[in-house]
Structure 1
Amino acid sequence: MRWSVLICVMAALGAGLAGCSSTPREPARVDYRSGSAYSASPQPVSRACVDGGYTVRSGDTLSEIAERCNVAMASLASANSLSRPYTLRPGQTLTMPRPPVHVVQRGENLYRIGLRYDIPFQRLASHNGIPAPYELEVGQSIQLPSGTTLATAATSAPARSTRPPARTQTPPPQSTLPATQQVANSSVSFDWPIRGSILSEFGRKPDGSRNDGINIEARTGAEVRAAAPGQVVYAGSELAGYGQLILLRHEGGFVTAYAHNSRLMVREGDQVTRGQVIAAAGSSGTVEIAQVHFEIRRGVNPEDPMRYLR
C-alpha cells in the first residue's frame, strides 16, 4: 500500500480502528507480533531519561530503567558495556542508546514503515510528533523506538493502477469458485473479495516500486466481501494512499486488507463471516479508476494473494 486532515480518527488493524464522534480519538493499535488489538498509548518516557544520560538512583534496576525510559534492556546494557548481573551504583550515569532512524524512500508511508519494523504506525506518529494525515517527505528521517531491529527489506505504497495492463487475469466467476480455497500449511482459507481483472500484480515493479498485494478492477459500488471469517481491526480513511480501508484479522496470524472503497459497511470490532459484504468498491485514495487493493499478510510479511486465490 495520502490512508487529508481527518475530522475523526478511525481505528482497526491486524488489530484495530473506528468512527466519528465530536472529539477525534486515536485509532486502536495493532500488535503485528501477536495479531492482537490494543488501545493503550505507549507509556510516557520519564523526564529523568535525557539525551545526556540517566542518573541511577538507589534501588534502581536495569530492567526498571529500561522500562521507564522506553528502551530495550539489552540495548541499554550494550550502550553502557554492562554484563550480567547488571550491577548498578547510585549516582552512576547511564548513556541512553541512540535511537535508530529510518530515512523515508519514495512511495513509503507511515503504515508501511510501521509494518517493516513491526511497530504500530500510531506509535511512530506519536514518537515523531507527526499529526494526521501523517504526510511524509522523501528523505525525511523517522526516529524509531530504541531497541528496534533495523530491517533491510524494501517497502512501498500500494500500486497505483489507472488502467489494466495488456494482459490481465480474471478470477473464475464467483459461482464456480470452491466454497473455500485452502491455504498451504494453514487452517485459514481465503476467497476472492470481488470479481474482476487484475490491474496490478504482486511484487516488484520495473520502476523500483513494490505492490504488497494485488489490485482488482471493480465497478463503483460493487460488493466487496470478506475473504475469510475474522475480526475488523481497522475501518477508516486515516492512512494516506489507501482511501477507505478495511483490515481484517484472521486465525493463524493472517491479516487481509481491502483498500480504495467508496463506502465501508463494517466497524472496528465487528466479527465477519466468509463472503459477508464489508464495503462498496470505489476509487478512493491515490487511484483513478474503481478497484480493490487486496493484501494477505502473515504476521508482518506480505504474501502473494494469487498463491491462495487460484
Structure 2
Amino acid sequence: MLCAALGACASRPEPIRGPSSTSSASQSEPASCASRYTVRRGDTLSGIADRCGVRWLDMAAENNLSAPYTLRDGQVLLMPGAARTYTVRRGDNLYRIAVSHGMSLQELASINAIPAPYTIYPGQELQLSGTARPAQTASATPPAPSQRPAQTPPPASQPAQQPAQQPSQPAAGAPQFRWPHSGEVIANFGAQPGGRRNDGIKIAASVGEPVRAAAAGEVVYAGNELQGYGELVLLRHGDWVTAYAHNSVLRVSVGQQVEAGAVIAEAGSTGSANRVQVHFEIRRGVTPVNPLEYLPRR
C-alpha cells in the first residue's frame, strides 16, 4: 500500500487504463513512432515504449513525466531524441499548445520569449524545451517573436497621463487605425504608478457598448485563457496586431476576417479590470507601441 501511495516503487509504470475492451492500444495497428506519438485510449507508457523500441525511462524524461505516469487520450508524446519544436497551425493558441505538450503557458511563453498577449502565427516554429531567451527590443516580422517576459495588464484605476504627441509621419506600413471605442482615455501607454507598465491604453466604457476593429484584419485569438485580460480578441493586420481586452461578450471567432469598424466584442470588466473599459493595444510585430501615436486626434 505504501508503494502504491508513493507512486514510485514499481519497476515499470502502469498508468490508468481505459475499459478492458480497449485495454491495449491495438497491437495490429502500426505505431506512429517517428518523432511524436499521440496517446490512444488504453495506452500505457511502458506499452508505447515497447512498441516504439525505446526505454520507458527515456520517454518519461523526454516528456517531463513523473510517477504514476498517467497518460490522457490525445496527449502528444515526443520520442527520445526527437526535435523539440512545434509548428503553429491556423487556429492554434499558445495555451492549447502548452497543455498538449505537458507544459504551462508561462513555461512555453518564457522559452520562446513571447510576451502577453501571447500572439503566435501560423508557420511559426516554437521551441518545446530550453531556457528563457533574452529579450529583444523590436521585431517587425511575425514569425519567431522575441520580446521581454509576459506581463499582466495593470489595473485601470490609474489616472490618465498627458497624451503623447502625434508623430508627423506614422511608421512605414502602419494601417490607418481608428478608435475601437469613443470613451475617455483613463490610462495611457507606458510606465504606471507602482512600477507597473501598460502596453496599451484603457478607454472608459459602459457594459455592452460596442468594441470595434481598429483596422481590417484577421481574428487570430478570441478567448479568455490569458490571465488578466479576460475576454480577449487579437486581430492581425499584416505585420501589426491589435488587442482588445476585458470584454463582456466576444462577437468574432478565430480565422474570421473583419472590416475596419466592425463590432468584434461588447465592453465589459472581465479579467483584472476593476471597472468597465476597453484595454486596447497596438503591436508592431510583437513590440507594443503607443496607440495614441497611431490613432487619429479627437
TM-score (norm 2): 0.54
Q: Select which of 143, 165, 179 maps to 2:159.
A: 165
The structure-2 alpha-carbon separation of the partners of 1:284 and 1:213, relative to structure 1 and needing over 3 Å to count, comes to same
Letter in 1 for 2:269: S
Is 1:289 aligned to 2:275, yes or no?
yes
Shift of 1:146: 3.1
Counting aligned pairs with the same residue, the percent is 42
Shift of 1:125: 4.0
Partner of 2:191: 204
Shift of 1:208: 2.2
Q: Select which of 137, 146, 153 maps to 2:129.
A: 146
Secondary structure at 1:309 match in 2: coil
Contact 1:246/1:257 (<8 A) preserved: yes
CA distance in 2, matches of 1:244, 1:167: 26
Partner of 1:156: 151
Letter in 1 for 2:96: Q
CA distance in 2, matches of 1:248, 1:290: 21
Q: Select which of 79, 83, 89 maps to 1:70.
A: 83
Contact 2:36/2:79 (<8 A) preserved: no
Shift of 1:309: 1.1
Partner of 2:98: 124
TM-score (norm 1): 0.52
CA distance in 1, matches of 2:174, 2:61: 51
Give the number of aligned pairs: 194
Secondary structure at 1:306 match in 2: helix
Partner of 2:179: 192
RMSD value, Cα: 3.8
Shift of 1:264: 1.3
Larger radius of gyration: 2
Letter in 1 for 2:172: N
Structure with larger RCO (C-alpha < 8 A, sep 6+): 1
CA distance in 2, matches of 1:262, 1:204: 27
Question: What do residues 104-132 of structure 1 show as CA deviations (whole Å, max 9, x unaligned)?
Answer: xxxxxxxxxxxxxxx934333444444xx
Partner of 1:219: 206
Partner of 1:308: 294
The structure-2 alpha-carbon separation of the partners of 1:147 and 1:52, relative to structure 1 and needing over 3 Å to count, comes to closer
Shift of 1:70: 2.6
CA distance in 1, matches of 2:37, 2:189: 39
Contact 2:174/2:240 (<8 A) preserved: no
Is 1:243 aligned to 2:230, yes or no?
yes
Partner of 2:247: 261
Contact 1:159/1:215 (<8 A) preserved: no
CA distance in 2, matches of 1:229, 1:193: 12
Contact 2:152/2:227 (<8 A) preserved: no
CA distance in 2, matches of 1:185, 1:248: 19
CA distance in 1, matches of 2:230, 2:61: 43
Letter in 2 for 1:287: A
The structure-2 alpha-carbon separation of the partners of 1:223 and 1:159, relative to structure 1 and needing over 3 Å to count, comes to same
Question: What do residues 147-179 of structure 1 show as CA deviations (whole Å, max 9, x unaligned)?
Answer: 5661243541112113x6175769xxxxxxxxx
Question: What do residues 11-56 of structure 1 show as CA deviations (whole Å, max 9, x unaligned)?
Answer: xxxxxxxxxxxxxxxxxxxxxxxxxxxxxxx955996556989xxx
CA distance in 1, matches of 2:154, 2:97: 25
Contact 1:215/1:293 (<8 A) preserved: yes
The structure-2 alpha-carbon separation of the partners of 1:205 and 1:127, relative to structure 1 and needing over 3 Å to count, comes to farther
Shift of 1:141: 11
Structure 1 residue runs of 5 or longer lacking an equivalent are: 1-41, 54-64, 73-118, 171-180
The structure-2 alpha-carbon separation of the partners of 1:292 and 1:52, relative to structure 1 and needing over 3 Å to count, comes to closer
